[in-house]
Chain A
Amino acid sequence: MSNNKVTVVDREGATHDLEWEPDQSLMEALRDNDLPVLASCGGTASCATCHVFLEKEVFETLGERSEDELELLVEAEGYQECGSRLSCQVDFSQNLDGVTVTLAPEG
């Protein structure tokens, strides 16, 4: 499998292009490319520091969010019903090549 290309919009609005490797979750791709994603829980849907917004069309191709994920997101800054995800819960998939990911505000 080849890498996905991802465009990331950071919290200051600047864009970054990065490679998302097949064995990474979306969170890992962000974190390991120096984006400010703390990911303190190591990807266990506990800390919500990996909150991102996906485009609605992309969001809709993904599966349901778990109850834990949803409960953390609903209380998050800027929550979007059809866009918010914990990036640690988004696995690599070839369908996600070329997507744009926006980092949600902290807090």
Chain B
Amino acid sequence: MREQQIPQENQKPVVIIGAGHSGVAVAAGLRTRGWQGRILLLDAEKETPYERPPLSKELLKAGAPDESTPLRKEKFFQDKGIERLAGLTVESIDRPGKAVLLSDGGRHGYHRLVIATGSRARALSVPGANLPGVLALRTRDDALELKRVLVPGAQVAIIGAGYIGLEVAAAAAARGCKVTVLEFQDRVMSRVTSAPVSRFFENVHGQKGVRFVFGAAVTAIEGTDRAEHVVTADGARFPADVVLAGIGVIPNQEIAEAAGLHCKDGIFVDDDGRTSDPEIYATGDVTHFTSRIDGQSQRLECIQNAMSQADSVAAHITGQPTSDPEIPWFWTVQHGVRLQTAGVRHPDDDVIVRGTPSEGKFSVVYLRNGRLSAVDTVGGLSDFRPAKKLIARAAEIDPSLAAEPSISLTDAALQPSL
């Protein structure tokens, strides 16, 4: 596999914008696949590319080192001849000239361009959102800033009960902060999971002193020199020394849009990661694509997608076949309890609870037209791998067998009729 013939054109540079999970995986994947041309990896952030999941999990813990977990060691990039330009922003793409233009005035020509610019935290758009003390979490700097203010006794208001908000809530509670989570919906993580899982995690958080306010529409942040209160539509005021907004992300697609690439909510890419310009690829959080598994048009914000699209891009650039699509999956850890999801659930899927939530370990199985579409595993991973395989073959499931945790999920599936 590694003794590929390198075509002549491979001498030309691949320029990758963004050294997050996806950009780094493209660079590494190109080398693994035998690419011998130049690879330029550009990122606005200065430091060695790092993992984002630990930012809201390990890094915020009391006593945890401030270091981020590198995606690859600095030496890896040198050894592989991957040139990194760090601390510079790509300001525009010159498609006719096949070059990117940098914030320092630099210009780099590309043979193939990969846009892996990820996403950014959606900013609160209410009066007072710019006050000091109102934070978001996307980068290591964000995490360190947050870590400094999560001191014992601090009143922390978290806006949005998505997984980032909840991971921060857990970290803050563990550090002795007084945590209130304000959520517009009527339960936590409503976008990604079903009510039984939401209720379970609400309980876990509740036992650690985290307070939830549902149906809360935040209308303002008040304070003189810094945030002091969060105000909601019903007039309630919640005291807060720290406000964390965890209200979703926005794809960093502006340079692609300005260059005329087809974008909507994300940059449109095909199965090989190609944009509407065949010499430009995009990968990771910034993309919008049609799922090869269920035909769904979607944007995913998870490591799995960042890695697997990166692999397709590296394969296509080197002229190798792409792997079969992987079932999307995701994990979050809150108060030491892991939720791991395989597949993408729809709100109107049938919901089957497998096991007893009060025992701290259970799964929830989602069926669409009788076929397995997604599984949430809580506090255990036994169902995770079988679920991925069954989802991949859109297995029909016997609901009563699936509800019985002593029967393996695989045995709850009807055999494929060929």
A binds B: yes
Residues of A within 8 A of B53 (CB): 41-42, 44
Residues of B within 8 A of A12 (CB): 1
Smallest beta-carbon distance A20→chain B, Å: 13
Knowing A38-B311, A71-B380 touch, does A76 contact B385 (C-beta < 8 A)? yes
Q: Is B122 an interface residue when CB atoms closer than 8 A count as contact? A: no
Residues of A within 8 A of B308 (CB): 40
Contact A75 B303 (CB under 8 A): no
Query: Measured between alpha carbons, how far is A47 from B311 in the docked complex, in Å?
Result: 16
Smallest beta-carbon distance B33→chain A, Å: 9
Q: Is A99 an interface residue when CB atoms closer than 8 A count as contact? A: no
Knowing A46-B331, A46-B340 touch, does A38 contact B307 (C-beta < 8 A)? yes
Query: Measured between alpha carbons, how far is A48 from B76 in the docked complex, in Å?
Result: 23
- Binary per-residue interface labels of chain B (31-54) against chain A in the complex, 1 for a CB within 8 Å, 0 otherwise: 110000000000000000001011
Among A12, A23, A38, max chain B CB count under 10 A is at A38
Residues of A within 8 A of B393 (CB): none
- Binary per-residue interface labels of chain B (378-394) against chain A in the complex, 1 for a CB within 8 Å, 0 otherwise: 00111011100100000
Residues of B within 8 A of A67 (CB): 380
Smallest beta-carbon distance B6→chain A, Å: 15
Query: Measured between alpha carbons, how far is A25 from B220 in the docked complex, in Å?
Result: 47
Q: Which of B66-74, B175-183, B222-230, B349-357 contacts A (4 or more CB under 8 A)?
A: B66-74
Contact A40 B307 (CB under 8 A): yes
Q: Is A107 an interface residue when CB atoms closer than 8 A count as contact? A: yes
Residues of A within 8 A of B311 (CB): 38
Residues of A within 8 A of B31 (CB): 34
Contact B2 A48 (CB under 8 A): no
Among A23, A44, A72, A76, max chain B CB count under 10 A is at A44
Looking at chain A's contact residues, is the secondary structure mostly helix, strand, loop, or mixed? Answer: loop
Q: Is A36 an interface residue when CB atoms closer than 8 A count as contact? A: yes
Interface size on A, residues (CB 8 A): 21
Residues of B within 8 A of A48 (CB): 385
Instruction: Classify chain B's interface size.
Output: 20 to 34
Which single residue of chain B is at the shortest CB-CB distance from A12?
Answer: B1
* Other-chain residue from B72, B304, B307, B382 in contact with A75 (beta carbon distance below 8 A): B382
* Other-chain residue from A40, A41, A75 in contact with B385 (beta carbon distance below 8 A): A75
Knowing A32-B73, A34-B32, A46-B340 touch, does A68 contact B307 (C-beta < 8 A)? no
Query: Measured between alpha carbons, how far is A42 from B50 in the docked complex, in Å?
Result: 10
Q: Is A74 an interface residue when CB atoms closer than 8 A count as contact? A: yes
Query: Measured between alpha carbons, how far is A99 from B117 in the docked complex, in Å?
Result: 40
Contact B304 A107 (CB under 8 A): no
Residues of B within 8 A of A44 (CB): 53, 331
Residues of A within 8 A of B51 (CB): 42
Knowing A32-B72, A34-B31 touch, does A41 contact B380 (C-beta < 8 A)? no
Query: Measured between alpha carbons, how far is A68 from B384 in the docked complex, in Å?
Result: 11
Residues of A within 8 A of B61 (CB): none
Query: Measured between alpha carbons, how far is A41 from B51 in the docked complex, in Å?
Result: 9
Contact B2 A34 (CB under 8 A): yes
Query: Measured between alpha carbons, how far is A42 from B54 in the docked complex, in Å?
Result: 10
Which single residue of chain A is at the shortest CB-CB distance from B381?
Answer: A71
Q: Is B338 an interface residue when CB atoms closer than 8 A count as contact? A: yes
Residues of B within 8 A of A34 (CB): 2, 31-32
Residues of A within 8 A of B389 (CB): 107
Smallest beta-carbon distance B82→chain A, Å: 12
Query: Measured between alpha carbons, how far is A46 from B1 in the docked complex, in Å?
Result: 27
Which single residue of chain B is at the shortest CB-CB distance from A69?
Answer: B381
Query: Measured between alpha carbons, how far is A56 from B69 in the docked complex, in Å?
Result: 31
Contact A74 B303 (CB under 8 A): no
Which residues, 347 to 405 on B, are CB-close (under 8 Å) to A? 380-382, 384-386, 389
Contact B303 A40 (CB under 8 A): yes
Contact B384 A72 (CB under 8 A): yes
Knowing A36-B32, A38-B311 touch, does A72 contact B73 (C-beta < 8 A)? no
Apart from A38-B307, A71-B380, 7 more pairs, CB < 8 Å: A36-B1, A42-B69, A44-B53, A47-B304, A68-B380, A71-B382, A76-B385
Can you sample 30 A-B contacts with CB below 8 Å?
A23-B73, A32-B73, A34-B31, A36-B1, A36-B32, A40-B303, A40-B308, A41-B53, A41-B303, A41-B331, A42-B53, A42-B54, A42-B69, A42-B303, A44-B331, A46-B331, A46-B340, A46-B381, A48-B385, A67-B380, A68-B381, A71-B381, A71-B384, A72-B381, A72-B384, A72-B385, A74-B382, A75-B384, A75-B385, A107-B389
